[in-house]
Chains A and B, each alone.
Chain A
Amino acid sequence: MKVTIDNQEIYVKEGITILDAAQEHNIYIPHLCSHLELSPYGGCRLCIIEVEGMKGYPTACTTKVEDKMVIRTHTKTLQQMRREILQLILSEHPSACLICDEQEECSSFQQTIRKVGATTGCRWCPKDGDCELQKVVDYLEIDKITFPVYYRQLPIENHEPFYDRDYNLCIYCARCVRICEEHRKSSVISLRQRGRFSTIGPAFNMSHIDAGCEFCGACVSVCPTGALSEKGRKWGGIPDSYNASICPLCDLNCDIQVLMKKGKVIGTLPPGDPHQSGGELCVKGRFCLTHIINSPDRLKEPEYLFDEGIGIVSWDEAVKQAGKMLKDVNGKRVAVYLSPNLTLEEILAAKLFFKDIINTSNITSSILNSNLISYISLSEESISLKEIEKSDCIISVFLNGNYNYAPLTLSIKQKAEKGTPYFQIGWIKDTTSRYAYQQIIPFPGREKTFFNKIAQSIENADNSSPEIKELVKKIKISSNPIFILGPDIMGLTEADGILKIIKKIITLTGSKIFLTNPYSNLIGLLSLIDTKSNEEINELISQKKIDLLYIIGDNPFQKRPPVNSIICQSPFPAPDYLNADLALPSAMWGEISGSFADIKGNIKKFKAVTNPPGKAIQNNEIFDRINKEIGKKDIKFTYKGISKLIPKKLEMRFPFVKRKPLKAKISPPNTSFPLLLIQEKNPHIFYNISLSNNIRDMREIVTEDAIIMNPTDALKMEIQNGDSIFVKSDIYEKIYPIIVRKIIPQNFLLLITSSRTFDFNPNPCPVHIRRNNV
């Protein structure tokens, strides 16, 4: 199709807008509300153009190209009209800086050394220098605003986590509202009221957390002004470079780009144009990574436990001590804990080091318990994320998509919106619940029976509940049903039994399965090393058959186990109660190059972008140094040497587990214990720390060791947010603070624990609560 733009003949595809056509051929038409990932809106009116034969001045972003169109984009009238429109926008946007006479000299006078504080230059917009509005003002050469200036005097909203909102700077392009609705399918915010009273936010001034915000940061990315700004790098300025990497915070290992300034990580964004990409990251990849890598709590120097207490030592001394400890001990009496966040290269180096040099086979990870093994062994039938697109019936089982697995929940929402039946089995209301054809809550305390009924109903249609009948009917008529399993299932006491039934259901119906797990490289760990289960090692420790514990980035204990010595090697300090004899600081994601494996055994590589803090060094180098000290064999553990040894395709091997019969009896709630307490391990764990514990903003959205309660229940019992309550089961009781949130249905309580074991047994557990009046 041929069109003429500004006397230039160009050929374009059919059906695209004039703005897109012009952009393809590097013809700039000013615009503020139009965005690559969003449908045309026509809000800012800056992209007005003249088209021969068309009445008035249509907007380029909403008008489609037609054959032989003659378009003019930069006539005098247009520019004059654009100036008027932009001045109208600026009359409500603090803009003294944009039209200031001293603008050019400003930067040279900004920093002055004086004894008293003086304002030299106004620097109050976090988007300064990176602002789309500024660019348009420069382009249209606006030097004065003829309209009376109106300041909206809206309070700055900075009491919620991760990003600040100053709607005085907002120009109402509604990009944030649209990206939340169109791209993220969340619709947490909307344009409220109308005319000059318009504001942006959730219903009834609710907090974003209560409105179901995922804190994915898409709105912050697309905001053309400084109205929305990331707390972490609000005044950070423009980054020096953008480096491609992958996110290490769950097994989806999303592609990201890392923003660097002066050698430091200042932010992370989804891949693509930093101003044009809403992206598909979750809160962890978008906001938490920067906090973790720059955490002030990082372990920066080797620490040794002297008789007098912990002291900082040099690397030479630390390596000497490690060598001494390892030389003195029989290899069979060494146990090793590896974190599932280690890269393949680190895991392979650890394997060579501990199997060949130390001669131990006691290698495990704190997460490798029997439930996890039954869960992850289902992965044989697992599919990749892309294949969800082909499914025609989706069933999620105990998947908690809040602040997690954004690409997965997004594809569920997209599929469900297009009409694919989506069933959500589980208690927790998450971001996908709104799209569910049906949310099925298993009868409290009878979860295993519930899945059994589904299996029975598939085998021979019987008189089960209407919900199950509907579910089975939909599975049977679909040709490609997919079960998506969430890691919460592993925490259930009956997990093993439930997983066996699910496996049966899958074989019966010919379904596919998609497993999620919160560990970036669990698959790599299970593929490269013959591990033992956590239970087996724990038994060895309790039988006093272990003298030395070598813990790499893991946090397996609640108190110091009965062993002679403990060596901890991690980017973060070992917990105090462990009393580690030697703590070695290692580098983490961002500071090392490496690779992770996904559920299908495919390898994804990433590169180092910065240097480790203080004296921390790479795990591989630590092995190398200790190996030289012990002087046993001439093996190189460096990244280069190791990376050649990694097999192209990985296959998992599972540790052997002995299953003990269930001790705890599962029972439904009754009159004396009317509520059902669900316990969930905090899935937001990285190395030996929890994100909730380490990042203040994360603590606000995922609070550990607090009970989450439904607002209706809270109203009935006259309990308020922040109250402390006694939770009592038939054998245990404890005091917890309360958080009132809608994510949990009535008559249920949710507890996200920081510990590895649950306080209440079994899980879920019938309890009763009362206010703690002390």
Chain B
Amino acid sequence: MEDLNIKIKEIFRNFSNDPGNLIPILQKVQKELGYISLPAIEEISCFLKLTESEIYGVASFYSQFRFNPRGRHSITVCLGTACHVRGGSILMEAFERDLEIKTGECTLDKRFDLDGVACLGCCALAPVVKIDNDIYGNMSVIKLKETLEPYE
């Protein structure tokens, strides 16, 4: 808690309290802390004199901002056209069911976080799942468990 306050105060030092600085501040907070938390929004709210709802309204509009902490490993499921045709959304559902989280969230043990992406650029391998920096092509629901196993 105190740690967060110090980090955020440090970020504010580079900005004036003009509401126009909201997005650069949010970007910086995300870069430093990994995600935008409620206490962080409260601090920004005091600094820029905007309400928490206004800030959340702006932040949630952009897909670049996330509101949940990252896990030790990040799972990215491709939901692009090719992957969609070959069952990307079914894979996503399977991940959600298996990890008991929703898109954008992080598991309770902080092991995985789950996100969707529009295209990873390797449509020949569809459906594609990316875990950290490893690409898994031709994925299927059956392969799901063994794929996750090496990541602790």
Chain A residues near B (Cβ < 8 Å): 181, 186-194, 201-204, 206, 211-212, 434-435, 712, 715
Contacts and interface: CB of A to CB of B under 8 A. Distances in A.
Contacts of A435: 49
A211 B52 contact: yes
A211 B53 contact: yes
B81 interface: no
A190 B53 contact: yes
Contacts of B49: 434-435
Q: Give 4 closest A-B pairs by Cβ, nearest first.
A: A190-B57, A203-B56, A187-B51, A203-B52
Nearest to A436: B49
Contacts of B45: 434
B33 interface: no
A435 B60 CA distance: 24
A712 B60 CA distance: 25
A193 B51 contact: no
A139 B51 CA distance: 39
A726 B52 CA distance: 33
Interface string B45-64: 10001111111110011000
B38 interface: yes
Nearest to A416: B49
A439 to B, nearest CB: 10
A211 B42 CA distance: 11
A187 B53 CA distance: 7
Contacts of B55: 203
B41 interface: yes
B136 interface: no
Chain B interface mostly = helix
Nearest to A712: B1
Nearest to A194: B61
B12 interface: no
A477 B20 CA distance: 30
A211 B56 CA distance: 12
Given A187-B54, A189-B53, A211-B53, A203 B38 contact: yes
Nearest to B52: A203
A519 B109 CA distance: 56
Interface in B13-68: 38, 41, 45, 49-57, 60-61, 67
A432 to B, nearest CB: 12
B43 to A, nearest CB: 12
A190 B49 CA distance: 15
Contacts of A715: 1
Contacts of B61: 191, 193-194
A472 B37 CA distance: 38
A188 B60 contact: no
B52 A193 contact: no
Given A190-B56, A190-B57, A203 B50 contact: no
A192 B60 contact: yes
7 contacts: A187-B53, A194-B60, A202-B52, A203-B53, A203-B56, A212-B51, A435-B49
B51 A204 contact: no
Given A181-B54, A204-B41, A204-B56, 10 more contacts: A187-B53, A188-B51, A190-B57, A192-B56, A192-B60, A193-B60, A201-B53, A202-B52, A203-B38, A203-B56
Contacts of A190: 51, 53-54, 56-57
Contacts of B50: 187
A208 to B, nearest CB: 10
A204 B55 CA distance: 11
B2 to A, nearest CB: 10
A201 B60 CA distance: 12
Contacts of A187: 50-51, 53-54
A437 to B, nearest CB: 10
Nearest to A201: B53
Contacts of B54: 181, 187, 190
Among B54, B55, B67, chain A packs the most CB atoms within 10 A around the CB of B54
A473 to B, nearest CB: 20
Nearest to A189: B53
Contacts of B1: 712, 715
